[in-house]
A = this chain, B = another copy of it.
């Protein structure tokens, strides 16, 4: 019964990592795609369903607790008694780069909204569902898509860096609390430019200077399959030619 397949939930779906992760996990699970704008997930939902997989999309603003609550009520209706096998929080928010004294309150706060508050709402909604599924083939998994800005607060990047540092703290805290309960939490440091339509014009000397989102998706899938005796809680991912 296809409807009884377990589900993977991907929050933050645009044309890059989110879509690739959805396609990759759709090879094994039904997938639910959450994004603020329907236009972001609809093509991926259609593509997966057309290819014989099962996908749904739910419009969600993860920075808004009510929106997340509504989204998970709808999700529960859609999936019924099926279980949740994996969740990927891939919401990055805006990347604001400007002199600190020119940052508006709203610009500064945007890093936290996506990477702190949004990650909190999503985690509180998804963890009770993941905890029900600790006897599955693969340990239930929660992966946060993060960035180098989680490790280093660069000049002009106060908004993004505060958000990503906070995301790393949250991921560590959840890994330590929920690992012993059987949930696998990962902080994935994506260090480089993702190779998508929007970055096509960004030219680099080297033809492989951008990260393929399909390769990130493969990494996430691998992480999901790790057994309970061998959890990776932090991983970095970058092109071979990246400076770091």
Contact = CB atoms under 8 A, between A and B. Distances in A.
Interface string A209-244: 011100110110010001111111111111111111
Contacts of A231: 237-240
A120 B158 CA distance: 9
A195 to B, nearest CB: 7
A238 B233 contact: yes
A103 interface: yes
Contacts of A173: 100, 153-158, 161-162
A127 interface: yes
Nearest to A184: B240
Given A124-B101, A153-B170, A166-B166, A230 B234 contact: no
A125 to B, nearest CB: 10
User: What is the size category of the interface that chain A forms with chain B?
Assistant: 35 or more
Contacts of A87: none
Interface string A120-149: 110110011000000000010000000001
B237 A230 contact: yes
Given A99-B177, A166-B166, A228-B240, 19 more contacts: A100-B124, A100-B127, A101-B128, A105-B121, A112-B112, A112-B166, A153-B176, A155-B176, A158-B173, A161-B169, A161-B173, A176-B244, A179-B242, A210-B229, A219-B232, A222-B222, A228-B239, A231-B237, A235-B235
Interface of A: 65, 99-101, 103, 105, 108-109, 112, 116-117, 120-121, 123-124, 127-128, 139, 149, 152-158, 161-174, 176-180, 182, 184, 195, 206, 208, 210-212, 215-216, 218-219, 222, 226-244
